[in-house]
Structure 1
Amino acid sequence: MKRLPLIAALALAGITSAAHAADLMGAWQAALARDPEIAAARALHEQATFRQEQAKALWAPMVSAGGAVGIGGSDSRTKGAEAMGQSDVTFKTNVNAGALTRASIGAQKAWISPEREAQSKQLELSAQIAQTQWQQAQQTLIMRTAQRYFDVVGAEQTLTVLQRQQKAMQQAAAEISKRQSVGDASVMDVQEANARVSEIRAHVLTFENNLATKKVAYRQLTGQEPTQLLPIATINLTPANLADAHTWVQRAKQQSPSVQMMGLQQAIQSQEAKRVKAGNAMTVDWVAQAQMDRLSGQGMYGSASNQMAQYMVGIQLNAPLSSGGMVESREREALKQVEKLRYDQEAVEQQVEQQVRDAWQSLSTAQARLQALTQSEQASKARLSATRQAHRTGARTTNELLGAEHDAAQAELALLQLRIQTAMDQLRLAAASGELGEAQLRQVNALLK
């Protein structure tokens, strides 16, 4: 019984927290924790650490040890030797079959190796690509989260406006039916009103389906129900200090993940050309080797036992003399790929520039368009009010009244859509220029009410 107040308090806290409206930051944090695409990108990003380790390991000493046990034989003859004061002595040893043991150990460390230098650089550049891909994946998730968030908000607001319009048209149709029954309206007026009611009902059903689809997409991304999502407040949506388009384009060419990845891929391919060319290059390695063979058994001269030990410490030189033209051909092929990637990078830079300019142009004129649409909405509402009053006195037709209802709803929807587009344009501009992150998302989140 003593636990009941605690349980009740926890339940009340859960209900209270569930009743709080969700914002853009909460949606992004939920998506960051469960989205499979960002999880896969995180795994690729973690692989970069291993590539850096591999780049260092290329220059680390390679140590190997070996051993062998089996049955072997040997035949050794030495002529013209000198032993115990006698010259021209001949030594012969022979083992037809005997026990053979062999042990060896060696260490080798690259000193001069153009191929390893190219491979090491390729691994380091690959790690940088993984870092850039992680940045791009985070920006992509922010954009997807914001898009699905505003898809739900926009669909909810659109449905609300259409339902309000539907209710107004139903009331107008009912009023016209009453007036027609007393001879104050024509049959054509009733038919016109009923047609408009049926049309708006079809629109409402379509947007109900659209809202349900948007909610499913939001739920799949965040794992949360899209309840009480905060809409955009009626405040100034454009940044206070928006730099000129040229400044944003220069930022994009320097910071855009897409442009950076193309540059890194070009650098990797350049190193590949160097690695291929290194197939004809001289290499120098530090080496240390030791080996011992021992054989004992029976031969044509009786019992025999042979033991041989070899060791060395020094440098090893390897200089290929000819590859038959294969290396030169592969090098030219790799250089052509570098040229192709350079043109690809120029194409990506042009695409990024276009994205930046489109987002900047839309954002720079957003405030003027918002003001114009706000005035249009106010004028449409005033026209609707006047048309309703005139319709009651017979000065306006039913078609004019229903048209005024439709125009007022469309003006309100256009303003709502532009507000969402302006918020998204802020994120698009930051994403195209490579600056999109949590700070920019918080700025847009502050626009919600």
Structure 2
Amino acid sequence: MKFAPNALPGAIRTRLAIAATLLAPLLAMVPAAPAGAADLLQVYRDAQSNDAQFASARSQLLATREKLPQGRAGLLPQIVGTAGASRTKLDQTASLPIGGSPSASGTRFFNNNNWQLQLSQPLFRWDRWETYKQGELAAMAGEVTFHQAELDLITRAAQAYFDVLAAQDNLYLARAQKKAIGEQLEQAKRNFEVGTATIVDSNDAQARYDLATSTEIAAQSDLEIRRATLQQVTGKPVDELMGLRSEAPIPGPQPPDVNAWAAQAETSNPQVNLAGYNLETAQRETNKAKAGHLPSVDLVASYGFNNQTGSATQAISTHYNASQIGVQLTMPIFSGGQIQSRVRETIALADKAASDLEFARRTAAQTARQTYSGVSNGLAQVKALEAAERSAQSAVESNQLGYEVGVRINIDVLNAEAQLFSTRRDLARARYDTIMNGLRLKASTGVLQEADVVQINTLLTSVPGSMYKLPVPAQAGGKAPAKAAAAADRRGVRRDGGTPRS
């Protein structure tokens, strides 16, 4: 801040007092993060271990990997064993011709035990080969789906993290604004008591104070909701988080070429890769349907044993071993048109999968362009809001000084303070949104990884008040800044330099 060469010492002290008064609420409201405050990397790793969605994706990956051995099983030998045992009771009666009486009767028992092994080895079954290749595609698609879950986990954890920081900022700024308005209200009441201000100033300040109280309550509620959302991701409560340094250089997109990012998204976006696997799977389903017209050839072999102790016609026991080997050919001749219909169905589904792939490519490119624009425009917005914050700070100081000398009314000071706190909220939100758009940009191309979380982690700090560029108090809980205005009064700063205009 520059002072006029002919500025009076009292005016200089007034400006210093104003600055101290504006800083005091923020110093009082921004808590010092303890040494155990969680950072983004810790939150991400907690989410890896505890997030229910990610755990579900991990289990789904393990299940999908089994598609490969299931498909391969259709090409391998199939061996079936059977065994049986039975006991037969036979009641026999020998009779004379009609009218005669029975001549003999008796009961016989005989047993039958058998077992058999059957082997079948496919020699040519085109449908099973296509099923095996589909199993490979399903396993690869499962890996891509899990990679998408990893990208989603990073963005969800980061979004929840920065949402909590933004909610904390809103609460701290709401409390600071309330405190500043309260001090302005007390000043207006004192000026009214001594006759240097009207009751309008007090009423305006009281109305703003009541509104600030409502804003504080809403901010507190929002913070609790955001913390609950973060806990849902991490699986554990997180009381304190490290904040973003105000001077932290937010990384821009590299390379700084939107077309390069869009082109990469069209080829490496997980949804594009997944759609590509779906298309190839649909094409192989068509091949499998066409295989219904082809013959199947199997190698078949069997070996069995049978032991029988008599039968209904003879009492002699028999047993034998039987072995068999051969090639079995099965040729479809007519299936009622079912195969042709199935082929037409799969061709239509393959065309649909091709359209889905093209849609996925276009969507990925559009997402990359949007997030790239979000990063580049966000960086420009951050710079503009930083300049706006400095201007709003100067406006508050100027209006406060004008109120002191009687050329501004209380509502002017309140409006300037409201603009300052609103700008600070917008600036904090713009920083968080720009960082998140950077993560989403990398996610849209499939290159987002833990190293990017580590990079963002270097932008965080546990120093209290860093976001607002505030000095750390010499003593925790010290009240010296809040008493700066009173000290300025004792040093002779004028508070009755004229009658405020109404």
Match of 2:428 in 1: 416
Q: Are the aligned partners of 1:97 and 1:299 in contact in 2 as well (CA < 8 Å)?
A: no
For the residue of structure 2 that corresponds to 1:198, the secondary structure is helix
Do structure 1's residue 402 and structure 2's residue 414 form an aligned pair?
yes
Match of 1:69 in 2: 85
Q: Are the aligned partners of 1:236 and 1:367 in contact in 2 as well (CA < 8 Å)?
A: no
Give the alignment of 1:296-375 within 5 angstroms. 296-297=309-310, 303-304=315-316, 310-375=322-387
Match of 1:379 in 2: 391
Aligned-partner Cα distance in 1 for 2:292–2:60: 31
- Any idea what the Cα deviations from partners look like across 1:223-260, whole Å, max 9, x if unmatched? 34333311112222023743411111122122211111
For the residue of structure 1 that corresponds to 2:334, the secondary structure is coil
Show structure 1 runs of 5+ residues with no match: 1-16, 74-95
For the residue of structure 2 that corresponds to 1:395, the secondary structure is coil
Moved more, 171-180 or 263-272: 263-272
Aligned with residue 405 of structure 2, among 389, 393, 410 = 393
Aligned-partner Cα distance in 1 for 2:338–2:78: 29
- The one-letter amino acid paired with 2:149 is A
Match of 2:249 in 1: 236
- The one-letter amino acid paired with 1:257 is P
Match of 2:452 in 1: 440
Aligned with residue 61 of structure 2, among 45, 55, 59 = 45
Q: Are the aligned partners of 1:426 and 1:444 in contact in 2 as well (CA < 8 Å)?
A: no
Alpha-carbon distance, 1:72 to partner: 7.8
Moved more, 348-357 or 220-229: 220-229
Aligned-partner Cα distance in 1 for 2:212–2:49: 41
- The one-letter amino acid paired with 1:59 is L
Change (3 A) 1:240 1:246: closer
Give the alignment of 1:42-441 within 5 angstroms. 42-70=58-86, 99-233=111-245, 234-239=247-252, 241-297=254-310, 303-304=315-316, 310-441=322-453
Moved more, 286-295 or 254-263: 286-295
For the residue of structure 2 that corresponds to 1:317, the secondary structure is strand
Match of 1:84 in 2: none
Alpha-carbon distance, 1:310 to partner: 4.1
Change (3 A) 1:20 1:99: closer
Identity fraction in percent = 26
Aligned-partner Cα distance in 2 for 1:298–1:261: 65
TM-score between the two structures when normalised by the length of structure 2: 0.77
- The one-letter amino acid paired with 1:254 is T
For the residue of structure 1 that corresponds to 2:202, the secondary structure is helix
Aligned-partner Cα distance in 2 for 1:211–1:295: 84
- Any idea what the Cα deviations from partners look like across 1:104-138, whole Å, max 9, x if unmatched? 22211112111101111111111112111111111
Aligned-partner Cα distance in 2 for 1:309–1:63: 18
Alpha-carbon distance, 1:403 to partner: 0.6
- The one-letter amino acid paired with 1:47 is A
Aligned-partner Cα distance in 1 for 2:65–2:363: 31
- The one-letter amino acid paired with 2:415 is G
Considering fraction of residues, name the structure with more strand.
Answer: 1
For the residue of structure 2 that corresponds to 1:321, the secondary structure is coil
Change (3 A) 1:328 1:371: same
Match of 1:20 in 2: 36
Q: Name the count of aligned residue pairs.
A: 410
For the residue of structure 2 that corresponds to 1:59, the secondary structure is coil
Alpha-carbon distance, 1:71 to partner: 5.8
